[in-house]
């Protein structure tokens, strides 16, 4: 993925802030048409061919923030104002959560190895000798790779003493663990819906920002403005994303328009305990292992790519779903909003119901900016870390640890820290040969939720 320090990440947050400000403050809905011009003022440096295209891309991003799907072709001629009038304002947009801005996609060349001008056409020619596909020939004193023959093994690159051979990836394709990027030479990419697990990595890897997610902020602001009873559930990975002590963060979030803020670590501990009981039961019934189920991108992976593993996935609901159940009982009419660093939670919330809206941390952070909520202005209470095990859910290893702690006997627990082509291949073998560990914690994001694609400061 791109490092977090990049200009696209700034642009995303700036656009969110401006859109939130428009939603909350603007008396004149026509003002939405101005946002692209404010973001890309005249006379600035264009990022693409010209500022006019830059502005158009801002328009598309706004459409995605309104919940429109951009992958299908649609009539692009209406103004932002007209699109805004028409967009859904009382509920989360339908799945899938991701779409591609075709015009923003740079239609990268298919991944390839290429010989650069650094090649000195040496005597030893290790590249030519080592190539198993006989794809390298010499032309005007330099090595040349025949794309037709090349099998992308990379051996030539490793062998070159001058580092003259480079690998040029297609960034989104490179990070997708399930091969869901359809790449045709000369065309914008498409996402294969049947394969996509909504892990969100591609959205943070594309240097052109061409893959966007549908946001729930329009219905969120509408509900806040209607003064509905709103409950915000926050994932335990939030605390190190914002400045200030936990008590300050909680007070600030409430001030942004929520009736109450519920920290999910409590629900996480209930889940851990349930999962522990479930594990013992399954072992008694002769099952050799069980995997966790709190990571929705992993659950999707099983559904779409390793269905034979389904009977081994825990049936215990995730902390988000467990928390929503508790809250629904206590406050029946409330609008439940989940905030986390995860894109796949949108899929889980939509499919399972119970959670009305899902925000990511970028959206939550920029909501605070737009509402001018100063976190550090709130009093800092003395820190008492409660539910430490539940908080641990944010990092890889934490779920397994919490489940283990709930059990009396010592149970061997292993983990998959990050989904990749390799780890998925490994998981496919588990049906024949049970994995090490009775309990396997699986996290789609390496490092766990706190390193999720939509985090602010991981």
Among residues 36 and 319, whose Cβ is nearest to another protein?
Answer: 36
**Residue from 178, 202, 347, 375 that binds another protein (CB under 8 A)?**
375
Helix, strand, coil distribution of the chain in percent, nearest 5: 40, 15, 45
Residue 345 interacts with another protein (CB under 8 A): yes or no: no
Cβ distance to another protein smaller for residue 237 or 334: 237
Of 136, 368, 399, 442, which lies in the binding site for another protein, with binding defined by CB under 8 A?
368
Structure tokens at 263: 């920290």
State the minimum distance, in angstroms, from the CB of residue 199 to another protein.
23
Least distance from another protein to the Cβ atom of residue 11, Å? 11
Beta carbons within 10 angstroms of residue 203's beta carbon: 23
Q: Is 17 in the site for another protein (CB under 8 A)?
A: yes
State how beta strands 112-115 and 165-168 pair: antiparallel
For residues 97 and 280, give the distance between their C-alpha atoms in angstroms, rounded to a whole number.
Answer: 36
Under DSSP, is residue 20 helix (H, G, I), strand (E, B) or coil? helix
CB of 243 to another protein, least distance (A): 5
CB of 61 to another protein, least distance (A): 17
The smaller minimum CB distance to another protein, of residues 182 and 373, is found at: 373
- Per the listing, tokens 């803020």 go with 261
Enumerate residues 204-223 that contact another protein by CB under 8 A.
none
Unique residue bearing structure tokens 């939720």: 449
8's tokens: 């696209």
Please write down the long-range contacts of 130-136, taking CB distance under 8 Å and 24 or more positions apart: 130/155, 130/156, 130/159, 131/155, 131/156
Residue 429 within binding range of another protein, rule CB under 8 A: no
Of 30 and 376, the one with the shorter C-beta distance to another protein is 376
Q: What are phi and psi of 235, to 5 degrees?
A: -70, 150
Instruction: For residues 49 and 17, give the distance between their C-alpha atoms in angstroms, rounded to a whole number.
Output: 26
Examine residue 440 and tell whether it contacts another protein (CB under 8 A): no
Interface with another protein (CB under 8 A), residue from 198, 205, 292, 366 = 366
Q: Is the dihedral of CA 140, 142, 147, 150 positive or negative?
A: positive
Q: How many residues bind another protein (CB under 8 A)?
A: 23
By CB under 8 A, residue 252 contacts another protein: yes
Instruction: Tell which one of 26, 116, 429, 457 touches another protein (CB under 8 A).
Output: 457
State how far Cα 144 lies from the chain centre.
Answer: 38
- Check residue 227 for interaction with another protein (CB under 8 A): no
Min dist. Cβ of residue 443 to another protein (A):
23
Using rule CB under 8 A, residue 26 touches another protein: no
Q: Quick check: 374 binds another protein (CB under 8 A)?
A: yes
Q: Which is nearer to another protein, 226 or 372 (CB)?
A: 372
Task: Identify whether the C-beta of residue 336 lies closer than 8 Å to the C-beta of residue 355.
Answer: yes
Instruction: Return the number of other C-beta atoms located less than 10 Å from residue 95's C-beta.
Output: 14
Q: Which residues contribute to the site for another protein (CB under 8 A)?
A: 4-5, 10, 13-14, 17-18, 38, 241-243, 252, 365-366, 368-369, 372-376, 456-457
């Amino acid at each position: 993925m791109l490092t977090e320090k990049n200009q696209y990440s700034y642009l995303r947050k700036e656009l969110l802030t401006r859109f939130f400000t428009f939603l909350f403050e603007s008396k004149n809905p026509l003002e939405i048409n101005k946002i692209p011009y404010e973001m890309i003022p005249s006379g600035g440096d264009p990022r693409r061919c010209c500022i006019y295209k830059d502005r158009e891309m801002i328009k598309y991003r706004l459409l995605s923030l309104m919940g429109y799907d951009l992958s299908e072709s649609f009539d692009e001629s209406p103004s932002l104002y007209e699109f805004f009038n028409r967009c859904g304002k009382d509920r989360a947009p339908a799945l899938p959560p991701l779409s591609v801005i075709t015009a923003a996609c740079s239609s990268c060349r298919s991944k390839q190895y290429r010989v650069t001008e650094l090649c000195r056409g040496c005597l030893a020619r290790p590249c030519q000798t080592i190539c198993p596909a006989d794809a390298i020939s010499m032309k005007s004193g330099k090595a040349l790779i025949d794309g037709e023959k090349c099998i992308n093994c990379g051996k030539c690159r490793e062998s070159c003493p001058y580092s003259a051979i480079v690998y040029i990836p297609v960034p989104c394709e490179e990070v997708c663990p399930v091969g869901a990027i359809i790449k045709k030479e000369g065309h914008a990419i498409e996402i294969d819906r049947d394969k996509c697990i909504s892990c969100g990595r591609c959205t943070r890897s594309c240097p052109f920002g061409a893959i966007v997610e549908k946001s729930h902020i329009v219905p969120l602001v509408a509900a806040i403005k209607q003064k509905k009873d709103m409950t915000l559930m926050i994932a335990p990975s939030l605390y190190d994303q914002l400045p200030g002590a936990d008590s300050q963060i909680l007070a600030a979030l409430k001030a942004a328009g929520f009736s109450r803020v519920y920290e999910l670590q409590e629900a996480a501990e209930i889940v851990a305990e349930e999962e522990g009981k479930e594990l013992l039961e399954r072992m008694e019934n002769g099952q050799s292992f069980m995997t966790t189920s709190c990571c929705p991108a992993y659950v999707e992976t099983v559904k779409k790519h390793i269905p034979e593993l389904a009977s081994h996935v825990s049936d215990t609901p995730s902390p988000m779903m467990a928390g929503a159940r508790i809250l629904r009982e206590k406050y029946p009419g409330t609008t439940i909003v989940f905030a986390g660093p995860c894109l796949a939670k949108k899929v889980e919330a939509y499919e399972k119901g119970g959670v009305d809206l899902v925000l990511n941390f970028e959206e939550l952070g920029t909501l605070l900016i737009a509402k001018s909520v100063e976190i550090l202005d709130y009093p800092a209470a003395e820190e008492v870390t409660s539910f430490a095990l539940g908080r641990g859910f944010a990092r890889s290893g934490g779920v397994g640890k919490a489940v283990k702690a709930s059990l009396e006997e010592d149970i061997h627990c292993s983990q998959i820290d990050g989904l990749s082509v390799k780890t998925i291949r490994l998981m496919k073998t588990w049906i024949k040969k049970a994995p090490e560990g009775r309990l396997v914690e699986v996290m789609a994001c390496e490092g766990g939720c706190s390193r999720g694609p939509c985090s602010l400061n991981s």
